[in-house]
Structure 1
Amino acid sequence: MAKKEESVKLLGFLISPFSRRVEMALKIKGVPYEYLEEDLPKKSNLLLELNPVHKKVPVLVHNEKILSESHLVLNTFLINNVILEYIDQTWNNNPILPQDPYEKAMARFWAKFVDEQILPVGFMPLVKAEKGIDVAIEEIREMLMFLEKEVTGKDFFGRKTIGFLDMVAGSILIPFCLTRAWECMGIDMTPEDTFPELNRWIKKLNEVEIVRECIPPKDKHIERMNKIVERAKST
């Protein structure tokens, strides 16, 4: 548990999966923190002060130590989840990463796969699918099938309890799948007959109270996705 004299603040954005996963980690660790919601189109002076280079969220401030990570370079997500690892190493209770060196390496491997392979080929390519929307859908499903196989036979990616990879993948897939965000384009991206294990995992993960507390409301998520569609179609 965080000590009384500790100060923990998180600057985030409700619809940002990167913010959601950091909140999950703090809640699982039982760390008291102050959450500051950012209006990204109108970045606050505090955000610009704390993260002047990338001007993105999440930003974690722990006893005046500042950590930030998410940013875009040439439309490619570069996320190394340093905040999650910092939280895990700072508060030792309820470990997020596996203790076994091999399992820890594999959790990092698959988290990198989710952020660098699945996320960039997710929603936006469907809106502006140059090769055709059917091809784009198939490419995304091929990526998701790797996760389908990885979670087969497990309660969670972290086996009996949620862990690092559950937070990374869950922060992206739970909002999309539970809110059926793809349906605004008439698409069922994760049909249960094709992805029975992923759907089972998503439902089980959503049963965890801490996870539910960190997932954006359906209406907010759909609203955000509709804005992305409209913006993409106009460019």
Structure 2
Amino acid sequence: MAEVKLHGAWFSPFYQRVKWTLKLKGIPYEYIEEDLSNKTPQLLQYNTIHKKIPVLVHGGKPICESMNIVQYIDEIWPHNSLLPDDPYERSVARFWVTFAEDKVVSIFWKTLRTSGEEQEKAFEESLEMLRIVEEQCLGEKKFLGGDNINIVDIALGSVAYWLGIIAEISEFKLFEKFPLLNAWIKNFEEVPVIKKNLAARDEIIAFIKGRKALRSS
């Protein structure tokens, strides 16, 4: 098998997506931890446009953008597929991945980069996005993918984990307003591969508080 390398940063929810996918499929890889304030020449060479993580390098060829990487992995190693067999169901899954990227990720960045009234407004905006996901994507299912996790769980699970931590730090009741989503998050985090490879909650809390302290100094 061609060599697989992954450039990431331990705290990144976008790196986590790729890590989970590789672990779910049992693909061995070399991990390169990036210092985002002093990125390696290799990362800058592989991602010349955005210069950001994650980057997967497969057989010397770089693949960028987290969900693009996830879909690439799923195509190259089709066992334990993250997409449904049915063409219509695949299109539905891709729709929700796009929704996650276009809507939920933007809200995540707002909550992370703001504070006070501005952050509270961002959390309020997130409520509508979460309501849509709960009512129209999750419903009564155990996972967004049905009985098992799929690509939609990967796309939203990483961001939901961070959103929950940011809300906890800010004392904003977020997922408590959505019992089905709250149950999904707990189910998702208990999947053995996910549980074993989640970034530690206390370390993320310390990381976020450190960022806030730097911004306010």
Instruction: Report the TM-score, using the length of structure 2 for normalisation.
Output: 0.90
Q: Which structure features the higher share of helix residues?
A: 2
Task: Report the counterpart of residue 161 of structure 2 in structure 1.
Answer: 174
Q: In the aligned structure 2, how far is the partner of 1:104 from the partner of 1:26? A: 20
What amino acid sits opposite 2:163 in the alignment? F
Q: 116, 122, 127: which is aligned to 1:136? A: 122
Q: 18, 22, 29: which is aligned to 1:22? A: 18
Give structure 1 stretches of 5+ with no counterpart.
Answer: 71-80
Preserved contact between residue 8 and residue 34 of structure 1 (Cα < 8 Å): yes
Q: 39, 47, 50: which is aligned to 1:43? A: 39
1:188, distance to aligned residue in structure 2 (A) = 2.0
For residues 119-130 of structure 1, what are the structure 2 equivalents within 5 Å?
A: 119-122=105-108, 124-125=110-111, 128=114
Q: Are residues 122 and 231 of structure 1, via their aligned partners in 2, closer, same or farther at CA, if it must alter by over 3 Å?
A: farther
Task: Report the counterpart of residue 66 of structure 1 in structure 2.
Answer: 62
Q: In the aligned structure 1, how far is the partner of 2:71 from the partner of 2:210? A: 32
Q: 144, 163, 170: which is aligned to 1:185? A: 170
Task: Report the counterpart of residue 164 of structure 1 in structure 2.
Answer: 151
Preserved contact between residue 112 and residue 166 of structure 2 (Cα < 8 Å): no
Q: Are residues 224 and 96 of structure 1, via their aligned partners in 2, closer, same or farther at CA, if it must alter by over 3 Å?
A: same
What amino acid sits opposite 1:106 in the alignment? V
- Tell whether 2:93 aligns with 1:107: yes
Q: Are residues 44 and 156 of structure 1, via their aligned partners in 2, closer, same or farther at CA, if it must alter by over 3 Å?
A: same
What amino acid sits opposite 1:104 in the alignment? R
Aligned partner of residue 92 in structure 1, secondary structure: coil
- Tell whether 2:93 aligns with 1:98: no
- Tell whether 2:198 aligns with 1:215: yes
Aligned partner of residue 107 in structure 2, secondary structure: coil
Deviation digits for residues 146-165 of structure 1, max 9, x if unmatched?
11112121111111111100
Q: In the aligned structure 2, how far is the partner of 1:132 from the partner of 1:40? A: 26
Deviation digits for residues 16-46 of structure 1, max 9, x if unmatched?
1111011111111111111111111111122
Q: 14, 27, 30: which is aligned to 1:31? A: 27
1:125, distance to aligned residue in structure 2 (A) = 4.6
1:114, distance to aligned residue in structure 2 (A) = 1.4
Q: In the aligned structure 2, how far is the partner of 1:21 from the partner of 1:126? A: 18
1:231, distance to aligned residue in structure 2 (A) = 5.1
Q: Are residues 20 and 126 of structure 1, via their aligned partners in 2, closer, same or farther at CA, if it must alter by over 3 Å?
A: closer
- Tell whether 2:69 aligns with 1:83: yes
Instruction: Report the TM-score, using the length of structure 1 for normalisation.
Output: 0.83
Q: In the aligned structure 2, how far is the partner of 1:30 from the partner of 1:224? A: 29
Q: CA RMSD in A?
A: 2.1
Aligned partner of residue 122 in structure 1, secondary structure: helix
Preserved contact between residue 110 and residue 119 of structure 2 (Cα < 8 Å): no
Give structure 2 stretches of 5+ with no counterpart.
Answer: none
